[in-house]
Structure 1
Amino acid sequence: MKKVIITLMLPLCAFSALAQTKKTTTTTTKKTTVTRKAPVKAGPAATLKSALDSASYAFGTSMGGNLKGNGVTHLNYDLLIKGLKDTFEGKPLALSSDKSQAAIMKIIENASKQKFSGNIAAGKTFLEQNKKQAGVKVTPSGLQYIVVKEGQGVKPTATDTVLVHYTGTLLDGKKFDSSYDRNEPLSLPLNGVIKGWTEGVQLMTPGSKYKFFIPYQMAYGERGAGQDIPPYSTLIFDIELLKVNGK
């Protein structure tokens, strides 16, 4: 399983917010009561008089859609616009580039945790219950595993390349990857994979088969991996160490 790195890119643009009010009117007849919603009063439409107006509005909708898709529900719009104006007008900025990046990542991380709080809770509950099961061992890092079959020989180090067969599943049993299905074992460097693999495979000797229960912090974390592994997913891997190839 190769390590996946997903970069989140945010377009720079502006927000606009419109408030809508909903009213309900009720009409009563002798036999039935019928409830009808009054027409929703739309906010003022944006006035787009030029190509610049259209582009400016488009930047706002693009940024809004991107952030909303990542779980951000609101911002301080006055400061958002001020940040845009200060940048365009070459004024001194209130935040350095490093602090700006840190602030953006923090709000994205908090929004993501809220959006995927169900995954975090499910993983925590599972691991708490799983460690009580017979045969489950827990390392200081929180990695859990079961020895299905013990092999023999020299254990690999973090700088070694190993040949493995594996199957990966989510907590609900959904399989997201399997070298067995491809009938093709995978050769990989242990310092180039997720932390759960780097630590776990070093516990094994050639010929061993272990089942690993990997907390999201030691898997793909807040980013997940593609469409198959959602953010904050606790993962289960069945790993068979076939060979230690060395450095």
Structure 2
Amino acid sequence: MKSLLPLLLLVICSCGSKIITTPSGLQYRILQKGSGAMAGPGDEVLIYETTSYRNGTVLYSNYDSTSPVKVLIGGNQATQAVDEGLRGMRIGEIRELTAPPYLVKRKGYPANVSPDSTLVIRIKLDSILKK
């Protein structure tokens, strides 16, 4: 049941949130508002992330982990979708990104990820580290 809690909270919080489309074609909606300073280029952040196909099939998740992933925004450490989606987030904020294939391209793909798929990525900003 513990592993379903974050998913249940996201479903409960997602009602009525506005979908925003960026110039790159990334779509996102804020599922839970955060607080404090906004993350931006040059910030190292700790995040929890779940990546899935639009049908709900989970490809990757670290939500059940006690260790968030560290990402340098603008440092080519994440896909373009995640990097762009993190910009402007506040601590505790949860966003759901809908990322077209050209924003989630990687040099090498895990066997379970199709390179031409639109992916849904849920990100929770755990903290912003000092520059």
Which letter does structure 1 place at the counterpart of 2:125?
A: L
Q: Which runs of 5+ in 2 are unaligned?
A: 1-15
Deviations 1:61-97 (A, max 9, x none): xxxxxxxxxxxxxxxxxxxxxxxxxxxxxxxxxxxxx
Number of aligned residue pairs: 114
For 1:173-192, what aligned pairs fall within 5 Å after superposition?
A: 173-190=56-73, 191=75, 192=77
Distance 1:149 1:136 in 2: 13
The gaps in structure 1 that reach 5 residues or longer are: 1-132
Match of 1:231 in 2: 115
**1:182 is paired with a residue of what secondary structure?**
coil
Residue 242 (str. 1) matches residue 118 (str. 2): no
Distance in 2, matches of 1:243 and 1:183, equals: 14
Could you tell me which amino acid in structure 1 is paired with residue 120 of structure 2? I
Distance 1:224 1:174, change over 3 A: farther
Among 23, 34, 37, which residue is 1:154 paired with?
Answer: 37
Q: Render the CA deviation track for 1:202-226: whole Å, top value 9, x for unaligned.
A: 12111111111111111126x6621
Matched, 1:218 2:103: yes
| CA RMSD across the alignment | 1.9
Match of 2:91, SS state, is: coil
Structure with greater proportional helix content:
1
Displacement, 1:134? 6.2
Task: Give the counterpart letter for 2:46 in structure 1.
Answer: L
TM, length-normalised to structure 1: 0.43
**Secondary structure, in 3 states, of the residue corresponding to 2:82?**
helix
**TM-fit CA distance, 1:151:** 0.9
Q: CA deviation at 1:229?
A: 1.1
Q: How does 1:57-206 map to 2 (within 5 A)?
A: 135-190=18-73, 191=75, 192-206=77-91
Distance 1:142 1:213 in 2: 9
Q: Partners in 1 of 2:30 and 2:61 — Cα distance?
A: 19
Identity of aligned residues (%): 27
Q: What amino acid does structure 2 have at the position aligned with 1:165?
A: Y
Q: How far apart in 1 are the matches of 2:17 and 2:42?
A: 32
**Poorly superposed stretches of 4+, deviation over 6 Å:** none
Q: Which amino acid aligns with 1:238?
A: R
Distance 1:246 1:139 in 2: 27
Could you say what secondary structure the match of 1:154 adopts? strand
**Structure 1 CA distance for aligned equivalents of residues 124 and 17 of structure 2:** 21
Determine the structure 2 residue equivalent to 1:24. none
